[in-house]
Amino acid sequence: MLVRTANQTLLYDAGPANSSFDAGQQIVTPFLRSKAIDVVNYLIVSHGDNDHSGGVEAIRRNFQVEALFVSQSGFFPGSRTCDHVEWEADELRFSLFSMFLLSTSNNASCLLQISGPEINVLLTGDIEAIAEGKLMQLSLPIMDLISAPHHGSASSSTPGLLNKLRPDLVVVSAGKNNRFGHPDDEVLARYQRRHSRVINTADHGAVTISFGWIKQLSLARETEKRFWH
């Protein structure tokens, strides 16, 4: 997920990598270059699972990364943990934190809250019910946008959390016909019952959301149609 303000570029996770494919090199790098990005001010790796962290080294090779944050100390050389790190940029406040710092589990994912005039966003990594329970204890606003925790898995998006956040828009990061069955049908039903709009990358491709006087939503499979769509 790429987050851009007038003077800041932030990348949250970098996709998977294996011996034959590297999302950081083959997907994320070309996309960032298409946006004329040379410097990544903040690179946040939600946690160590390969589908989130595999492409990180390619990003570090190809771009100047000014700050790297991870959920577990020492996971990448020169990285810092996401232990309640806060900063401001372009009238927005950024808060980086974890419910279970230094653990290796999904529940240790680095969470990123972005807030400012007319905007509240929460990126959730792969947190599951136990971390969601702790998250509910925090003072959080109603959200304009969240990423569906753990790709919309049945282990996440608990009713209590959804009642607290009441997100207007939810983006599910999932692959087409993925073997995990993400997103779960009951999870989708929970969002629908709360009138949240759900966008699934498996169905809609890349999602672009612009916040300003008017919130704008662009879906790659509508704006950049291919014959196989």
Q: Which domains does the chain have, with CATH numbers?
A: 2-223 (3.60.15.10)
pLDDT at 94: 98
pLDDT for the residue numbered 104: 67
Q: Are 107 and 100 in contact (CB under 8 A)?
A: yes
3-class DSSP assignment, residue 48? coil
Distance CA 187, CA 6 (A): 35
CB 82 within 8 A of CB 110: yes
- CA–CA separation, 198 vs 156, rounded Å? 15
Q: What is the pLDDT along the chain (229 residues), one digit of tens a residue?
A: 999 999 999 999 999 999 999 999 999 999 999 999 999 999 999 998 999 999 999 999 999 999 999 998 778 888 999 989 999 999 999 999 999 876 668 999 999 999 998 899 999 999 999 999 999 999 999 999 999 999 999 999 999 999 999 999 999 998 787 777 789 999 999 999 999 999 999 998 999 999 987 789 889 888 877 655 5
Angle at the Cα of 55 (from 104 to 156), degrees rounded to 5? 45
